[in-house]
Amino acid sequence: MALKTVVTADFDEGNRRVAAGDWQGAIAAFDRCLLVNPRDWQALANRASARLQAGDSSRALDDYMAAAALNPASANIKSNLAVLLKELGELELAGKLLEEALASEPGHVDAWSNLGVVRQHQLRYQDAIACFLKAIELDGLTPARCNNLGNVCTSALLLDDAIAVLKGGLGLAPNDANLQFSLSIALLLAGHYAEAWPLYEARWRSILKPRHAGRLWDGGPLGGRALLLWAEQGLGDSLQMARFLPRLRAEHPDARLLLACPETFHRLFAQFDGVELLPPDAAPAFDCQLPLMSLPGLLGATLDNLPVEPYLHPVAADTPPLPDAGRLKVGVVWESGRWGVGIADAWRQHKSVPPELFAEICRVPDIDFFALQPGELPEPLRGLVAQPAIGDFADTAALAAQMDLVICVDTAVLHLAGAMGRPVWALLRAESAPFFLADAETAPWYPSVKLWRQPSPGAWEPVLRNMAQALAGQQTF
């Protein structure tokens, strides 16, 4: 009896620590339970959830599998295991597990919500909406369910619905950072910049952690003080926000402007007079600081006042000029890079075009194609695309300046070529992206960028076919 009491106390402590977000403490408590009874499937399942939250996916999977073997009928275990499988990018298997859970327990609210998330990652947005609505029907509105539903409506470009749902969620929880950030994305896509920018700051309480602490710049006069600006997200974001550097220099002539950014930009960004360039992990003395993506909100940027003139120019490159064969030169980028593993990378890869599909463009005759992304050419593009040497973005800019046209997916080269005012055809997902609006034909931040959108999620083939046909008929751009 005393032993059972101890085990129960450890189990309860584990659950309390889970509720408090103390994952390691929870794991230790469930460890003690399992020392007494290694077949305690509830302790295994709960330890798996804590390990997953702590980022230990491998051991979480071991625990979930062991718990499922001990209690194969448990809908809870299937639902939670599906969450892990989703994180690992195993969407089909995750979906099947959730369908099994719901077949045995149709009222399992979490399984409906988790299935909605899986369907969203599978680009099955209407199915995801139905799942989230079912969860709401079964157990009512919560901030998390509003966030799930609002996000998938944003992906489906049902922006009025997304905004209404997310605002409804904020009516339940006005300070919920996830809802605020999600609403900012829907508002940006809808072009409502003034309303979006304050909410966009919630990214620091939801999806990101700031690299620097210290006083934030409030946009007021700097005088002779030092302002540290720092890159916070992808390479394209830094290129996009660099447009505001000349304005800052002009409006604060006596200030010391520091920019901590990836060193691949340093030669290119040296063209901004009066901006000291630092490595991204630099920790200089400063009077105030600001992440780059906070600049447009602080400066009151709207679609009506965006500075859209070219603001980047090629600088001396380490590579020789390309030979002129008298044919059109087209620079190409088919991949949006790789971030992490599992669902994080899979989600980003939706922005990329498989090389075997992209090759249709590169087979258009009488055009010389050049890769503007570094790395080895994939097999389907060999013999179709030349691979110049690229060391940093100064090299990429020098190459882009020699192109008659740049064709690229939504990645850093789009922002680079757009910032240079070069003609660009951008391949864009059906879901669009926050700074490209829902149905614009040209990029609002880059007038020289024509947007070629998927007609439906994941459908690259018709876009590539139409682009190849248009390219074959072009003589100039």
Q: What is the tens place of the pLDDT at every residue in 332-342?
A: 999 997 666 67
Mean of the per-residue pLDDT values of the chain: 94
User: What average pLDDT score do residues 270-287 get?
Assistant: 96
What pLDDT, on the 0 to 100 scale, is given for residue 1? Answer: 40
Give the domain 328-472 fold. Rossmann fold (3.40.50)
Mind listing the pLDDT tens digit for each residue in 67-77? 999 999 999 99
Query: Tell me, what's the pLDDT at 364?
Result: 97
* Statement: residue 180 has pLDDT above 50: yes
φ/ψ of residue 97, rounded to 5:
-60, -45
Portion of the chain with pLDDT greater than 90, in percent? 89
Q: pTM here?
A: 0.93
Q: Averaged over 439-459, what is the pLDDT?
A: 97
Angle at the Cα of 89 (from 84 to 94), degrees rounded to 5? 55
Give how far Cα 6 sits from Cα of 38, 41, 126, 444, Å.
15, 17, 48, 63
- Categorize the per-residue pLDDT at 345 as very low, low, confident or very high, splitting at 50, 70 and 90: confident
Contact 115, 102 (CB under 8 A): yes
Read off the pLDDT band of 109 (50, 70, 90).
very high
Q: How many helices (H) and strands (E) does the chain have?
A: 21, 11
- Across the range 27-47, mean pLDDT stands at 94
Mean pLDDT of 271-296: 97
The fold of the 2-205 domain, in CATH, is 1.25.40
Supply the pLDDT for residue 5.
59
Confidence grade of residue 348 (pLDDT, cut at 50, 70, 90):
confident
Q: pLDDT per residue over 349-396, tens digit each?
A: 899 999 999 999 999 999 999 999 999 999 999 999 999 999 999 999
3-state secondary structure of 378: coil
Intrachain domains 2-205 and 328-472 with the same fold: no
Which residue ranges make up each domain of the chain? Answer: 2-205, 226-298, 328-472
